[in-house]
Structure 1
Amino acid sequence: MFRDLYTGLIAVVMVLSAESSVGPSNSSSFCTESKECLQFDLLCKAEEYEVRHYSPTRWVSTDAEAYFMGVGAAMAFRRLFQYITGANEEGVQIEMTAPVLVKIPEETKMWEPAIYTLSFLLPSAYQDNPPTPTNDKLYFTDMPDMDVYVRSYGGWMLSVTSRLHAHLLTRELHRVHALYNTSYHYGVGYDSPLKLLNRHNEVWYVSEGDPVCPGPVEKPTEPTNT
């Protein structure tokens, strides 16, 4: 009897955790243009990055081959936008959520195109049973429970700025001897193309093992005259 009760409680906690991973946008200061946003737990915050925990979520994704991240993302965005505006078997309109993820491979060559994966977060109402896309280039991605290293920046998420902030984040992660997935990172955007000011973008690296959470770097103290 106790085992059944315990199992039931665990199941309820798991359901609540899944539901709470997509929630109202008012819970985030930088998620302001959509009704729902990806939720997270802030594990720690250092001077150059923060560590977040994300619960499992479902996304609708598509791949695009391009020489530059911005070009690939634009191609993929068009397909995904068509999906949420009715290009699905049920013909339903799906609310836009935030953020939008771009999976960016680490090893790219200037003379060869790379595969970029763009993903829209499905709203809470469609996390369990999303409508089937009519475009066979779209598919669903189940993001696992994960801890991520995050660096935030403003402006526009372009190929150059995304690579720059990815480099700055990896430099700091190397400094603190953090372990993370080195085969790809995520470019993360929260704003529509029409928003001009106070834009918010992020770079994510998925932690491997326990994340490193050092305190802020202390500045050396000035010598005092005696």
Structure 2
Amino acid sequence: MILLSGLVGVLLVLTAEAGVGKSSPDNFCTETKECLTFEKICETDDYEVRHYGPVKWVSTKEESWSMDYASMKAFGRLFNYISGENAEGKKIEMTAPVVVDVPDKWFWEKGIYTMSFLLPSDHQSNPPMPTDKEVYIHESPDMKVYVQSYGGWMTCVSDGWHAHSLCESLDMADAKYDKDIHYGVGYNSPMALFNRHNEVWYVVKGEPMCTSSSEEIMLN
């Protein structure tokens, strides 16, 4: 019975850490020790489809007309959390990417933006609780996403342009996806001036669609 309980505990830890892995020099995620991991399902000239397992994040919400303004305020709260503003006073390693939930809205409307930092593997199972009431821990579900990548800086303009571009490609492919919200995803420090990598994600509904079955990558 004790052996079984121990095995279950190990499996739970492995499951919790499954979405966080070491950075690789061959990848676009190189500035932090650990990054969010994924499986690539298929790829076209315009986008790719990825599978992400459930993983824990520290997050905060900000209401604003602009993603840029919301991101500045939200980043400060989350940075304070990983700098030791948590119930255990622990400093937590920065990971990548930083993800922003971007609502589908008109530019003159206010929206709720949610920024999230990925928790590193040693804090996935039992993260320190935030002391700021506007900061919270949450777990993203197992999901598949459509992804379009781009360089430069992630701003409300560049994010909006690529979100529109990805939507056009998905609509042409007759793909089903959640149109109410997309994710702006950044992998670089604000200090990095070159070789920046950003992404736009839309969550897949039903079976993922690639334009050609010959482009699918079979994963074992």
Tell me if TM exceeds 0.5: yes
When residues 37 and 31 of structure 1 are mapped into structure 2, their CA distance, relative to the original with a 3 A threshold, is: same
Find the counterpart in structure 2 of residue 20 from structure 1: 18
**Where does residue 159 of structure 1 map in the other structure?**
156
Once the two structures are TM-superposed, the CA of residue 66 in structure 1 deviates from its matched residue by 1.2
CA deviations over 1:136-172 (Å, ceiling 9, x no partner): 0001121000000000000000000000000000000
5+ long unaligned stretches in structure 2: 215-220
Contact 1:56 1:144 in 2 (8 A): yes
Q: What is the letter of the counterpart of residue 41 of structure 1?
A: E
Which of 182, 194, 198 is the matching residue for 2:195?
A: 198
Does the CA-based 8 Å contact 1:47-1:215 persist in structure 2?
no
Alignment-mate amino acid for residue 152 of structure 1: S
Give yes or no for the alignment of 1:145 onto 2:134.
no
Judge which range, 118-127 or 10-19, deviates more: 10-19
Is 1:186 the equivalent of 2:188?
no
SS at match of 2:28: coil
Aligned to 1:34: 32
Q: Distance in 1 between matches of 2:201 and 2:74?
A: 20
Q: Work out which of the two has the higher radius of gyration on C-alpha atoms and give 1 or 2.
A: 1
| Partner secondary structure for residue 133 of structure 2 | coil
How large is the RMSD of aligned CA atoms in angstroms? 2.2
CA distance in 2: counterparts of 1:68 and 1:118, whole angstroms: 13
One-letter amino acid of the counterpart of residue 46, structure 1: T
Q: Percent identity?
A: 54
TM-score (norm 1): 0.87
Q: Secondary structure at the match of 1:112?
A: coil
Task: Give the secondary-structure state (helix, strand or coil) at the position aligned to 1:142.
Answer: strand
Partner of 2:99: 101
Query: Structure 1 unaligned runs (5+)?
Result: 218-226
Which deviates more from structure 2 when the two are superposed, residues 68-77 or residues 19-28? Answer: 19-28
1:119 aligns with 2:112: no
Mapped pair 1:210 → 2:179? no
Hey, what does 2:67 align to over in structure 1?
69
- Segments of 4+ moved more than 6 angstroms: 8-14
The one of 51, 55, 79 equivalent to 1:53 is 51
CA deviation map 1:21-41 (0-9, x unaligned): 101011761111100000000
Aligned in 2, Cα 1:94/1:203: closer, same or farther, shift over 3 Å? same
| Post-superposition offset of 1:17 | 4.3
The normalised TM-score by structure 2 is 0.90
Aligned length in residues: 211
Residues 1:134 and 2:131 are matched in the alignment: yes
Deviations 1:85-125 (A, max 9, x none): 0000110000000000000001x233332110000000011
